Structure 1
């Protein structure tokens, strides 16, 4: 099987350098790489050129249109039997393609997704963010877990589709705001088999600061409403949890000001929740510092996602604004 690895890129030359370096170390080398520079000001032309003697790599420059349409640009020019999508802030383990190839042949998957994890070289903040996005105590626990709620929807930081899927379903029709979930739903609706490959993990840097993480998760909350506008049945009870957390936090603060006796119950529940996160993160990362930062990251994840969700829920569903 020949793979086409498609990487949209926007003003992140250092990230693509690290990603391409990991691709040179793959134990399975039947692949090409297509880097799509999506209207960047700070481009990676020189960096990509430095890999032409080590990778079958092609570099394209196009006007900015967002990551979904940049991937479509790559799909149209790919030669592979299977298209693999990575975000530019990922590092790929050396046996990734070998694992994927074996699983595709064994399980005959038309599309797949894989989980993400924190690399040992990540900063404590990056490790905490990774924990928040994969923890069973946050909504991140449904992303790439063996046990997931409802249909499995691959995420575009680590996702693959066969050429047959692309030829029948087409590419992305959204460029952002939940474009990967929308694409997965259409693949399901066309009768293709999608599966999780648990061992096909990538090391996903995500954001390097809590401020960037907040902005990203607020965007994710809004994206869930965008998916609902296309597929109403895909809005599940679990998707309301961050919004409930955000509302509960507001109620707790009001009770502490206006009715302290009742506030004790809310305070205890929030404290218990964050203690569970702290001790679980400590067990996972073997670091008190990362455990503390994981509490902060989990708070940001739930609050930012919940706020974005509530914002667009009222704007687009209640008040029906476009």
Structure 2
């Protein structure tokens, strides 16, 4: 089995360099790298040249198409049996490809998705953002901690398919806005086996500020509605839970003026959730500071997603 690692990049040569360095250290060496320069004004040609003697690299500069279509173009020229799709802001543990190869062969997978984690040397904010995106207190663990791996919908920062899957399904149908979720649904509908591979995790080195993190979560909520254009049943009850959390949070000060009993119940529930986040994150990272930051990022993630989904549903209804 040979892997083709597909990496779209846009104005992030130094970020790409870190990822290529982690690829050069992989214990499994049967792979090539396909870098798609998606209309960047700051290209990565010097970085590609730097690693050309260490890695088997194809470099495809192109006009900007968006990450989904850029990945498609990379897969069209790839030579591997399996395509591993990564965002440029991830780093790979040394045995990533080895663990992935074993899982694919042992479980006879046609496609896969892997979780993300925070490396020990990440900043406190990066660790807090990772907590907000992966904790059962926020996303419910749907990004990598679910009990049934067959229910996983792969995310574009860390996913992969066999060459056959790409040829049959045609790849991404949208350049962005939930394109990974849409393709995951279509892959399963076509009868292919796509599952979560917990061992194939990546270190997701997000460059976000708190504001850009909230903005990204808002986009994720909107993206779920975009996916429903292709798959009408894509929005399920679980996707409305962040909206319910947002409405619940906003209702607390209202209850203070209207009903003391409801106020006490709601503030109690909110404190239980807040303490759960604080204790869970602080113990995970052995840092109260990261615990406090995780409360901020968790509030931001839930409320922003919870706002983005209904606003996009409303916009879609107005447009007809």
TM-score per shorter chain, which class? over 0.9
- RMSD of the TM alignment (CA)? 1.5
Task: Give the CA deviation at 1:140.
Answer: 5.4
Pair 1:233 & 2:230 matched = no
Structure 1 consecutive aligned stretches of length 4 or more whose deviation exceeds 6 Å? none
1:149 CA drift (Å): 9.0
1:151 CA drift (Å): 2.5
Change beyond 3 A, Cα 1:129–1:150: same
- Residues 293 and 63 (structure 1), Cα distance of their counterparts in 2 relative to 1, 3 Å cut: same
Deviations 1:194-245 (A, max 9, x none): 1111111100112431111111101000011111222122221110011111
Task: Give the Cα separation in 2 of the matches to 1:22 and 1:205.
Answer: 13
TM-score by length of 2: 0.96
For this pair of structures, how many residues does the alignment match? 319
Q: Which moved more, 1:116-125 or 1:146-155?
A: 146-155
- Provide, for residues 231-290 of structure 1, a one-character-per-residue CA deviation record: whole Å limited to 9, x for no partner: 12222111001111111222223334x436243332222122111110011121111111
Gaps of 5+ in 2: none
Map 1:46-85 to 2 at 5 A: 46-85=46-85
Would the aligned equivalents of 1:4 and 1:31 in 2 still touch at CA under 8 Å?
yes
Q: Residues 78-127 of structure 1, C-alpha deviation per residue, up to 9 Å, x if partnerless?
A: 00000000010000011111111111111110001111100011100000
Partner of 2:184: 184
Q: TM-score by structure 1 length?
A: 0.95
Counterpart-to-counterpart distance in 2, 1:265 and 1:62:
56
Structure 1: any 5+ residue segments left out of the alignment?
Answer: none
Aligned partners of 2:110 and 2:162 also within 8 Å: yes
2-structure distance, mates of 1:12, 1:87: 11
Instruction: Kindly indicate whether the alpha-carbon contact (under 8 Å) linking 2:9 and 2:35 is maintained by their aligned counterparts in 1.
Output: yes
Aligned-pair CA distance for 1:148 = 5.1
Q: Does the aligned pair in 1 maintain the 2:150–2:194 contact within 8 Å?
A: no
How far apart, in 1, do the equivalents of 2:50 and 2:28 lie?
21
Whether the aligned pair in 2 keeps the contact of 1:133 and 1:140 (CA below 8 Å) is: no
**SS in structure 2 opposite 1:23?**
helix
Please give the secondary structure, in 1, of the residue aligned with 2:137: coil
- Say which SS state the counterpart of residue 187 (structure 1) adopts: helix
Distance change in 2, residues 1:312/1:298 (3 Å):
same
Q: Give the corresponding residue for 1:251.
A: 251
